[in-house]
Structure formats: C-alpha cells, structure tokens
Amino acid sequence: MISGRVIQLENLADGPSRGFAKPSVVITFDDAFENLLVNALPTLEQLRIPASVYVVTDCMGSAPGWLHGSGHPDENENLMSEEQLRVLAANPMVSIGSHSHTHPRLVSLGGNDLQNELTRSKSMLEKLTGQDVEVLAYPHGSYNGTVSEVAQGCGFSQRLTLDERMVHMGCADGDVGRFSMEPDAWMIEFKLTADGAYSWLYYFRRMIRSCEKLPGK
C-alpha cells in the first residue's frame, strides 16, 4: 500500500521530484525499543522501506526508565544497546535521531537543564554513529516556542511533534507534524492517514474510538 511512496524524513525536500500520485509517507519509531529489530526491521528491509529511529540515550541497553512503575505494556521491554544502534546506523535504510537523553516533558525543564538534555543526547549519538544528528522527536510530544528555539540552537533543524498536521514538501525544516499509528488501527484508518486525509481524520478517529467502547465490542 505505501512501500513505493516512503521516503526518509531528511529527503522531504526532494519529494516533488519523485512524482507520487498520492502523498509520500515517512515512517518513524520513537524510543528505539530492541523489539524493532525483530518485529519491524526485517519487513522494512524486505520491502526496501526506509525508516527513522529516535533514541533515548540514557536508557540504551536497558528498560525505559521513564515508564518505571507505570504499568505500561512496554515497561519491561529493553531499548537497543549501543552496539545494536551502531550496527543499525550503518544500515542505509535507517536514519538515527534523538528522542532526548532521559525522555522528560521538555516544557517542564529550565533553560540549562533543557539545553543539557538535548546536547547530551545529540553528542552521544553522533559519537556512537559517526553521523550528524539533526532531527529530534519531542518526548511525549511536549514542546512550546521556547523548547523549539532551544532545540534549534542545539543543532536540530527538524523537530518532530505529535501534532496531526500535513508536512509540505520542500518546507520540512522546523517543527514537523506526525500522525501516530497504533497496532490496533483499523485498515481504513491507516489508508486514510497514508493518503493524506488530514483535514477530518481527527473526527473520524474519535468516531472509531467511540464505536470501540460500545457494548459487545
């Protein structure tokens, strides 16, 4: 459905030259859970689909500290180790970005703490991969004007949000919107998202969630 339309986020500016009949698609994974190597990477490689992975550097090779005691289903899932990330970064189908150092809500941090949170992650990833890291995915989607400005000053030209909005080709620098896609998403929901039905999809999703809560569902 989308394999012929997927491009890497860093190549969005080249999108119009691809001549897609439908909107192009960028695939991103936050947190860098180890299970991606088994559950996602083989299929992506088989279909030649590029993807981006955003890493929480304080938890490499361990369980996600920010989920400790939360009861979240991923609470005890390990994140990729440094060696796994080093190997993954060498894969031409995968790009590596930052998801901060400790996964805090960035709007809650003061100036120095915010800058240290971002620069430490960027520095560690660049040393680990040998590549420039210029994309940040905001943890929890938490950002405001100050966070965006500090992140840009730290060298992140693209900052990924959880705001459900379309990204225009050739204008991908700055705060970039994304649509989250859960494993239990309906196929029509997935298709509409990939095909760019952004203007009313939010209300469609609310309708779906309401139907799922009806008796007998």
- Mean pLDDT across the chain: 85
pLDDT of 166 reads 72
130 Ramachandran zone, left/alpha/beta (phi>0; psi -120 to 50): left
Find out if CATH 3.20.20.370 is the number for domain 3-178: yes
- Please, what's the b/e burial string for 93-117 (b: 16 or more CB within 10 A of its CB; e: otherwise)? ebbbbbbbbebbebeebeeeebeeb
Answer yes or no: is pLDDT of 18 > 60: no
Give the tens place of pLDDT for each residue, 52-88: 999 999 999 999 999 999 999 999 999 999 999 999 9
pLDDT of 16 reads 45
Burial class (CB in 10 A: 0-12, 13-18, 19+), 164: middle
Give the single-character DSSP code of 91.
-
Kindly state the tokens that stand for 204: 């469609």
- Would you say the C-alpha torsion 49, 55, 59, 64 has a positive or negative sign? negative
pLDDT of 168 reads 67
Answer yes or no: is pLDDT of 40 > 90: yes
